[in-house]
Amino acid sequence: MKKILSLILIVSLLASCTKDLNQVPSVEATSESVYTSLANYKSVLAKLYSSFAVAGIEKGDGNADMASSTASWGYLRVYFNLQEIPTDEVVYTWAGGDNLTNIQYMTWGASDTWVSAMYYRIYYTVALCNEFLRNATDEKIASFSAADQASLKVFRAEARFLRALAYTHAMDLYGNVPFVTEADKAGAFIPPRIKRADLYAYIQSELQAVEEVLPAPLQNEYGRVSRAAAWTLLARNYLNAAVYTGTADYTNCLTYCNKVIAGGYTLEPVYKKLFNGDNDKRTKNEIIFPIEADVTHTTTWGATTYLVNGPIVGSMKAADYGVVSGWNSIRTLREFVSYFPDQTGTADKRGDFWTNGQTLNVDDPSSSSQGYSIVKFTNLNDDGSYTTDGGLVNTDFPMFRLADVYLMYAEAVLRGGSGGTVGDAVNYVNLIRERAYLNKTGDINASTLTLDFILAERARELFWECTRRTDLIRFGRFTGGNYLWQWKGGTVNGVAVDAKYNLYPIPTTDLASNPNLIQNTGY
Amino acid sequence: MKKSIFRKFLFCLCMVMSSLGVYAQEQSRTVKGTVTDEGGKALERVSVLVSGTTTSTLTNASGGFTVQLPPGKDVLEFTYVGAAKKMVKVEGDTLHVVMTFEDKKLDEIVVIGYGTKTKKDMTGSAVSISSKEFNPGLVGSSEQLISGKSSGVQIMTNGGSPTAGSTIRIRGGASLSASNAPLIVLDGVPLETGGISGNSSNFLSMINPNDIESITVLKDAASTAIYGSRASNGVMMITTKKGKGDQLKINFSTVVTLQQRKNVADMMSPAQFRSVINAEGTDAQKALLGSANTDWQKEVFKNAMGTDNNLGVTGKIAKAIPFRASAGYYNQHGNLQTDKTQRFTGSLVVTPSFFDKHLNLTLNLKGAANNNRFANTDAIWNSVAFNPTQPVYSGKSAFGGFYESLDNSGIPATGANRNPVGLLEQETRKSDVYRSIGNFDVDYRFHFLPDLKAHVTVGYDYSKGEGSVWIPATSANGYNVGGSNNSYSQTLKNKLFTGYLNYSKNINNVHRFDATAGYDYQHWSAKAPAITYYNEKGQLQSTAKASDERHVLLSYYGRVNYTLFSKYMITGTVRRDGTSRFSPENRWGTFPSVAVAWNVIDENFLKYNKVLSNLKLRASYGVTGQQDGIGNYSYMSVYQQGNSYANYRFGDEYLYVYRPSVYVYDLKWETTKAFNYGVDFGFLNNRIAGSVEYYTRKTYDLLANVSVPAGTNFDQTATTNVGNIESHGFEFQLNTTPISQRDFKLDVNFNATNQYTKVTNITLVKGATTVGTYAGPAVAGRGIQILTPGYQPNMFYVYKQVYDAAGKPLEGVYADLNKDGVINEQDLYRYHSPAATWMLGFNTQATYKKWSAGFTMRANIGNYVYNNTKMGLSAWETVQYVDAALNNLHKDYLHTGFKTRQYYSDYYVENASFLRMDNMSVAYNFGKVAKHVNMRIGAIAQNVFTITKYSGQDPEVTNGFESAFYPRPRTYSININLEF
């Protein structure tokens, strides 16, 4: 009796249980279930944007996108470290513990964790964009309503823009890199290597392909891009074309600067308000493309949280900047301080250094009392109030803004691009100067508008906005010995460094995984 | 059933012997005698053989026998199941023979997968350790019972906390970065791997060690391959105690322990610290010196008490159904204040038999409730780093009255160490965990065909963990966020169905077949509800999503044993596993094995050998798999939705994001192919017995988390089948009984293990030039260790420190190993591995009359440890991170004088070879102290001493990385055992 029962049991189990091997997640979704509604597409698109802002999908970068601890600091913090820490604008306190010494001293190698973190962060965003585009082809969206399809086509253009932005960073930081598009299947394959100039051409063509699909300037929703963002990126790449391709293209730079300037953007009258907790409102005037942060909704310990808390050192009071406690991380170098007429922001309001308890010279980079601090990013609202949550901030990061476009315009004119005039260049620069000085005493004229002035003015206006390394390279002053600052090359007064450091190396891990890649010269 | 086979065996034996004929000789003499066990109890059916003849007899019910000795023959051989063979020279006409049961027995039953075998018939490599041999003293979790007892088995507690659990490695594990933990099978139920929320690292402790009868460790692939895709890292078979004997027996034992505190690191005294700051510090730093003298390590680490009480009852219900019931209560405080665990356990086993033992049922139920309070282990680091010139209490009410480092706004400074006592006192992390494991076995021997047996097991492993975290808003730790007040829970369910048929046939004692074929179904589910994190004020802080994951394993398996003349044995097994964790194309795998053995001792040329009592040669080959360490849905494109703290705003709408997860469609098992060669030997009636094993092993398709080509997946790294490793090992086990007298017995056991593992590939592109993949704990942003093809896994990847003539390490001066004139990352080198080359175990047990004493020692040779505690506390820069606070310095600063931390200096990688006495015990058996009451009292010291050159707290640490290690205490216990 029993054996019959057990035999029946066995046979029935054998038959029914093989189906049990098909288990699917019950809380999470799968690619099949996600790409079924416009709202879901929009949610995926939101992740493409937020991949620049936060490093995870829970509070404070929780449930991290990437396993690597360094990459978990998020795109913007890593990008800041590579674009700013090796320059004259920053000295970093925790270089030892955060493994940033080699970045600060320009002695990085191909195994550097930050070099690797940025590289993979970029390709993470590229992979997200590709996955989105793969699932948003005409064929895949054919079943949607006409209105939805129209929206999806704009989403697609945005994804291509974001991918172009990420690829721009890859091109600028690493040069010749792997190349992956939505045409490649996700998963195990070996991407080809693309040369820097070819990637440049691809990026520019992508941006030109999407510019007409994107909304007109200032017609976009907050947080999303308009065609002005594509134009600004085009202009920035054209400005650096000589670095990327060996052939300058200042005329095209001016073409796109002109499009942005004609787009209706205006300078925010108060410089500080560009970087405060209410600066989402500046997308109505000056900020062309923000990377968001929000104390309750878009929370990260990288990005602007880092830029607000980091420079609070020594005797500075955290509450004065809308947070709870300073991080003692970021200070400036004397070379940067010297760009300003005074150290207290008396004439040029942008140069309001914190000197109390701080020394100007930095003899010990790890001492947070050496080097002046400066307040650029704060979590304060326009009215001086603030909300924070343990130091989280509401401050957006202006990836692109009009003042940068003005300065690009001036530089392109000075470098011989056609389509602009010196007169307009002087006017645009003076708009920036007058905002900084609150009057015309800082105005310049055609004779004082020199390339050196432009580089210095970019430092004054755009410091800590992640353009410095690119600017110094364009001016031939990042490596070599014709411009030294403290701790360049790892010595107290600075020393010439090898030109190979104009590019970061391809991380050894990817060289090992992708045999198509070739290491950059000198590494 | 066992008995009936034995009976048949004897019957056959008699038939064989009678057919050979017994020639009675003249002048033969008659010898009479009795055979008893050591307790004087008569033994029935002991085989008595006149040595060198075929004359034999069996003892009767009172142990008596009569045998005719032919002329010239005067040696009798006594054999009995479970006892050592005994050779006795007959002097007179009567004799009394005592059979010894403590000796290593070849007829010992060893639990193997889906069955049992006698040790003599074993073809693979397995070690069975019975409760008599278990480690004494305070044993928090079952695996610690066998620590140091067997070669090839490494059991390391993860630290001194009673909630820390252990790391178990059989032959070092066959994987690299996926799981190296063995499969644990409790009474036929493969247990849940890993832990549960609320008891994540010590889950095995939910089984009461006192309920365990034996632990069998299956080591070679041939023994484990019957467990297929989960077998690569070895299998630990735990068998719990069952009811036996007719009489009601009650056993009560109690252990009371004292755990003696130890220091974490050798820090400066307050006076030393003052003088260093006054000599070298800035004025601002001097101003941070207080007037107190606080030994922070003493404030947080204190002696702790524990107790373990067990009651066991065995007997028969209604004089027919054997049962065992037990209850246990265990309570242990940690040395780190507030750290504690307690456990209540209960078990019931009933084993009724029906139809003349044709039908045997086993119902086995175990339950445990475990309450933990977890101390905030950040307090360990802070106790060594906190400024020793500041007091514990500030004398003010803020921050719970604890002294804290405050910034210029009067709030706890970011980045400053928090008062370690405050961290402990102002935080309550508790958990309650419940677990029940049960199985119901039906074992039926067919009436029409007694050689055929059907076995069905239905089992479950159900557990639930609940926990809470409470941190007051007034505490320094919770200040910025208003404290914490939240709770979590998780439920795990594991269901098992096993059914197999077993056919065994003995043909004239010449051929023996034993065949098993079966089917398993196992289903796991893990559920956790969403968590809402609140601060102490009840304000919403964050959320975490619910989770609900399941996976299924289906298996078909079979085993065939064939034995010829009891001398030549061959075993073949095969298992086919299907798992829901892989895609339909990859989810089925087949894992075969074959093993042969030759009982050389039974050959004629050794038969009359008096010295050699056992000699067996074994060889085996098997293929096994490994699938732990990867997610349940890792082959699918899974999208996770973010929570409201990771929205992104479009216009005025905050959108919830959807994120694709990294996935690898082609995922499959790790596959290990292993050869094993073994020799079992015994001398002098197996009073010297042992084995030698050698194995080679190759693991293919290693599940490793490696860099994938950038842009091709949704992370830098993906867990995929990539690497290969090779390993080989040598194991030696020697069990001796130098003295075996009625009143004095001495056992001395020794084991040695040698292991070597080499990475042969770790990149997706074979042969790619790479320095390797960083691995191990992160130091300054990268793993301190590296995996490189051609090298041992996890070697420390560091700079070679240069020293001055006086032996002082020179700051930042490293050897230019590639001689390019620059010191950069190309000068890093691979310096030793955390894995020991040799592991030795030594234990001894002596009994003299009513006294018994013993100890267990272990030694590891060739293991290296990176001392992160020392590195991170002994450079001048570490004295201050924030303006508001000073940190204490490690005394090593007085030696090195380093200004900055030398993260990657090999100075911090030290030879951590050690010899440790794990336990030492002495016990006195009072015997009958009252009517029906026997008493035994013992005293045990654990972690008695460690001899090592390693300068840190403990040379035996996870991953060869010591960082704020919770010291393992020395433990003293008194143990009282009463039997009624």
Which tokens sit at B397? 């009410």
Nearest by CB to B709, which of A34, A110, A513? A513
Angstroms from A250 CA to nearest CA on chain B: 31
pLDDT of residue A16: 58
Which amino acid is it at B890? H
Which amino acid is it at A167? Y
Nearest by CB to B638, which of A30, A184, A309? A30
Contact list in B for residue A114 (CB cut-off 8 A) is 781
Determine contact, residues B65/B73, Cβ cutoff 8 Å: no
CA distance B504 to B493: 35
* Paired strand residues for B217: B127, B236
Angstroms from A413 CA to nearest CA on chain B: 36
Contact list in A for residue B494 (CB cut-off 8 A) is none
SS3 B270: helix
- Strands (E) across B164-248 are located at 166-170, 183-186, 189-190, 212-218, 235-240
- The per-residue DSSP string of A174-191 comes to HSSEE---TTSPSSS--P
Contact list in A for residue B647 (CB cut-off 8 A) is 46, 50, 294, 297-298
Which tokens sit at B107? 């007829």
Cβ of A99 within 8 Å of Cβ of B409? The answer is no
| Nearest chain B alpha carbon to A45 | B657
Cβ of A47 within 8 Å of Cβ of B664? The answer is no
Cβ of B710 within 8 Å of Cβ of A178? The answer is yes
Contact list in B for residue A42 (CB cut-off 8 A) is 650, 655
Contact list in A for residue B579 (CB cut-off 8 A) is 21
Nearest by CB to B546, which of A18, A27, A316? A27
Angstroms from B210 CA to nearest CA on chain A: 34
Mutate to test the interface with B, among A26, A27, A173, A359 (most CBs of B within 10 A): A27
- The per-residue DSSP string of A358-383 comes to -BSS-S-TT-TTBS-EE-------TT
Contact list in A for residue B499 (CB cut-off 8 A) is 6, 9-10
Contact list in B for residue A124 (CB cut-off 8 A) is 714-716
Cβ of A326 within 8 Å of Cβ of B542? The answer is no
For chains A and B, CB pairs below 8 A equal 345
Nearest by CB to B712, which of A70, A107, A189? A189
| Nearest chain B alpha carbon to A49 | B648
pLDDT of residue A164: 98
Cβ of A325 within 8 Å of Cβ of B407? The answer is yes
Angstroms from B979 CA to nearest CA on chain A: 39
Contact list in B for residue A319 (CB cut-off 8 A) is 409
pLDDT tens, A460-480? Answer: 999 999 999 999 999 999 999
Cβ of B480 within 8 Å of Cβ of A70? The answer is no
Mutate to test the interface with B, among A32, A43, A131 (most CBs of B within 10 A): A43
pLDDT tens, A362-383? Answer: 998 888 889 999 989 999 999 9
pLDDT of residue B10: 41
CA distance B455 to B447: 14
Output the CA angle A189-A191-A195, nearest 5 degrees. 175
pLDDT of residue B38: 67
Nearest by CB to A18, which of B442, B542, B554? B554
Contact list in A for residue B773 (CB cut-off 8 A) is 509
Angstroms from B715 CA to nearest CA on chain A: 5
| Nearest chain A alpha carbon to B500 | A10
Percentages of chain A per state (helix, strand, coil), in multiples of 5: 45, 5, 45
pLDDT of residue B118: 84
Percentages of chain B per state (helix, strand, coil), in multiples of 5: 10, 50, 35
Cβ of A67 within 8 Å of Cβ of B716? The answer is yes
pLDDT of residue B18: 39
Contact list in A for residue B790 (CB cut-off 8 A) is none
Determine contact, residues B711/B692, Cβ cutoff 8 Å: no
**Assembly ipTM:** 0.94
Angstroms from B272 CA to nearest CA on chain A: 24
Longest CA pairwise span in chain B (Å): 115
Which tokens sit at A59? 């509070």
Cβ of A22 within 8 Å of Cβ of B643? The answer is no
Determine contact, residues A352/A108, Cβ cutoff 8 Å: no
Nearest by CB to A221, which of B519, B578, B651? B651
Determine contact, residues A409/A421, Cβ cutoff 8 Å: no
pLDDT of residue B577: 94
Contact list in B for residue A49 (CB cut-off 8 A) is 648
Angstroms from A401 CA to nearest CA on chain B: 18
Q: Angle formed by the axes of helices A113-134 and A146-174, to 10°?
A: 160
Q: Taking the CA of residue B712 as centre, how many other CA atoms within 13 Å lie in the half-sphere pointing to its CB?
A: 21
Contact list in B for residue A98 (CB cut-off 8 A) is 780-781
Mutate to test the interface with B, among A16, A59, A287 (most CBs of B within 10 A): A59
- The per-residue DSSP string of B521-540 comes to EEEEEEEE--EEEE-TTS-E
Sorted by sequence, the CB contacts under 8 Å of residue B532 that are 6+ apart come out as B486, B540, B542, B543
pLDDT of residue B758: 93
Q: Angle formed by the axes of helices A451-462 and A402-414, to 10°?
A: 170
Residue owning tokens 């060669």: B677
Query: Which residues of chain B are modeled with pLDDT < 50?
Result: 1-25, 102-104
Cβ of B541 within 8 Å of Cβ of A59? The answer is yes
Cβ of B770 within 8 Å of Cβ of A68? The answer is no
CA distance A113 to B782: 7
Cβ of B715 within 8 Å of Cβ of A67? The answer is yes
> Residue B696 burial (CB < 10 Å; 0-12/13-18/19+)?
middle
pLDDT tens, B36-90? Answer: 876 677 787 788 888 878 788 888 888 889 888 888 888 888 887 667 778 888 8
Q: Parallel, antiparallel, or unpaired: how do β-strands B183-186 and B235-240 relate?
A: parallel
Angstroms from A103 CA to nearest CA on chain B: 13
Contact list in B for residue A177 (CB cut-off 8 A) is 710
Contact list in A for residue B412 (CB cut-off 8 A) is 325
pTM higher than 0.95 = no
Angstroms from A167 CA to nearest CA on chain B: 11
Cβ of B649 within 8 Å of Cβ of A294? The answer is yes
Nearest to B430 by CA among B332, B341, B345: B341
Angstroms from A192 CA to nearest CA on chain B: 10
